[in-house]
């Protein structure tokens, strides 16, 4: 796998991901226990976890993978270290992503409220409306423990102008759909660049 910061390893290399062929940096955000690690392992699948020596933000928890979406290849660099870092690291993650998967657990209302807070913070760091964010209600297999209804979450996503999907990492349900959705959003942004 190629590395994220291969130009010079400096933080500056994080701010320019628009050159052709460079991976989309997708950040997993969300309270602890909502399923970010489970998401990252499904994504990483058989692919090797990257050697991220030259990535000062990421520790080991970075995976890069090429996937095909609508007949076109896309490379995603998935960052899943957000809730393991200090405040500085967390703020950095708010700035370096090209797109965000904002997870909560449908069995944990507090994690849903946390997702709303994170969305507000994200919009502060990323005011551009076209930084794609998908609100992801994970653990939808646990129907009897549901604390957040689909309609409530969908309404909340609409208010914050992001997409919404319910997933089950345990059942591998809709997880890839979430990644495909992110790539489609990024392509829409790329194709209608007005910033």
Report the interface residues with ligand GDP, using CB under 6 A: 30, 32-38, 138-139, 141-142, 168-170
Q: How far apart are CA 170 and CA 102, in angstroms?
A: 17
Q: At closest approach, how far in Å is the CB of 11 from ligand GDP? A: 25
Q: At closest approach, how far in Å is the CB of 102 from ligand GDP? A: 12
Q: At closest approach, how far in Å is the CB of 46 from ligand GDP? A: 19
Of 132 and 137, CB closest to ligand GDP: 137
The secondary structure of 118-131 as a DSSP string is HHHHHHHH---TTS
Of 38 and 165, CB closest to ligand GDP: 38
Question: What are the structure tokens assigned to 187, written together?
Answer: 């392509």
Count CB neighbours of 89 within 10 A.
Answer: 17
Of 34 and 99, CB closest to ligand GDP: 34
Q: At closest approach, how far in Å is the CB of 31 from ligand GDP? A: 7
Of 9 and 33, CB closest to ligand GDP: 33
CB contact at 8 A, 50 and 42? no
Helix axis angle for 36-44 and 175-191, nearest 10°, is 80
Q: At closest approach, how far in Å is the CB of 3 from ligand GDP? A: 23
Q: At closest approach, how far in Å is the CB of 80 from ligand GDP? A: 7
Of 54 and 141, CB closest to ligand GDP: 141
**Is the backbone of residue 19 left (phi > 0), alpha (psi -120 to 50) or beta?**
beta
The runs of H, that is alpha helices, within the chain are 36-44, 87-96, 109-125, 150-159, 175-191
Q: How far is CA 33 from the centre of its chain?
A: 16
């Amino acid at each position: 796998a190629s590395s994220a910061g291969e130009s010079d390893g400096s933080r500056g290399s994080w701010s320019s991901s628009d050159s052709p062929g460079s991976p989309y940096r997708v950040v997993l955000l969300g309270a602890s226990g909502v399923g970010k690690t489970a998401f990252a392992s499904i994504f990483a699948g058989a692919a090797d976890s990257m050697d991220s020596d030259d990535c000062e933000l990421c520790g080991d928890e970075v995976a890069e993978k090429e996937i095909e979406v609508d007949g076109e290849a896309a490379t995603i660099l998935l960052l899943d270290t957000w809730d393991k870092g200090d405040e500085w690291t967390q703020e950095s993650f708010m700035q370096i992503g090209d797109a965000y998967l904002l997870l909560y657990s449908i069995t944990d209302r507090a994690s849903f409220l946390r997702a709303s807070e994170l969305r507000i913070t994200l919009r502060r760091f990323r005011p551009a409306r076209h930084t794609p964010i998908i609100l992801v209600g994970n653990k939808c297999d646990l129907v009897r423990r549901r604390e957040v209804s689909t309609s409530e979450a969908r309404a909340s996503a609409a208010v914050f102008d992001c997409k919404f999907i319910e997933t089950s990492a345990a059942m591998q349900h809709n997880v890839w759909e979430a990644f495909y959705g992110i790539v489609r959003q990024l392509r829409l942004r790329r194709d209608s660049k007005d910033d």
